Amino acid sequence: MFRAAATRTQIGRVLGRRNASTNVAVQNLEGRWKTLSTAEQNTIAKQLEEAQKADWKVLSTEEKKAAYYIAFGPHGPREPITQPGHGAKVLGGIAAVMAASAGLFYVIRVNGQEKPQTFTKEWQEATNEYLKSQNSNPVSGISSEGYKGTGYVGN
């Protein structure tokens, strides 16, 4: 009986000491994590890992928050790649590129030369006649019986 009471007292002292030392280290850990050195981060992580091996009811709220932050928080490889406002920058960039390409298309169309001679109706009709004389595509095309299409004559 006395031995059990003494053991409980010793465990309480060890847990009290451990909680007192880690409480100072884990207060506002989310805000301080990036400013800590790697050695300090590793020390705090190991202390919390040891503290989690004991009964979780003994852990303080700060220790639980710190353990969760170390395990799942946005630091290291889990740090977000994009910052707030990144979507607006991307949308603005896309709009700028689209406007520039539309402007370039307009300038090219305005300053372009006239249509090539192969776009004239006479040239396209002559192409149809040539293909008929060569019996081109006799199954379903311009040289087939009963063909009713326009051939190579466009609008």
Q: Which stretches of 27-85 are DSSP H helices?
A: 29-32, 38-53, 61-72
Is pLDDT at 13 greater than 60 in this prediction? no
Query: Distances from the Cα of 21 to the Cαs of 42, 44, 66, 90, 152, in angstroms?
Result: 15, 10, 14, 46, 88
**Alpha-carbon gap, residue 26 to 33, rounded angstroms:** 9
The widest CA-to-CA distance across the chain, in whole angstroms, is 118
Is pLDDT at 152 greater than 90 in this prediction? no
Per-residue pLDDT, averaged over 30-47, amounts to: 87
What's residue 126's pLDDT?
Answer: 94
Find which of 24-28, 87-91, 116-120 is predicted with most confidence, using mean pLDDT: 87-91
Find which of 7-11, 24-28, 72-76 is predicted with most confidence, using mean pLDDT: 72-76
What's residue 24's pLDDT?
Answer: 64
Q: Which amino acid is at 134?
A: Q
Q: Positive or negative, the Cα torsion across 77, 83, 84, 87? A: negative
CA–centroid distance for 15 within its chain: 44
Q: Give the end-to-end CA distance of the chain in Å, rounded to a whole number.
A: 106
Q: What percent of the chain has pLDDT over 90?
A: 26
Q: Are 120 and 96 in contact (CB under 8 A)?
A: no
Q: Which amino acid is at 15?
A: L
Is pLDDT at 100 greater than 90 in this prediction? yes
pLDDT in tens, 119-150: 889 999 999 999 999 999 899 888 999 898 88
* Average pLDDT score, the chain: 83
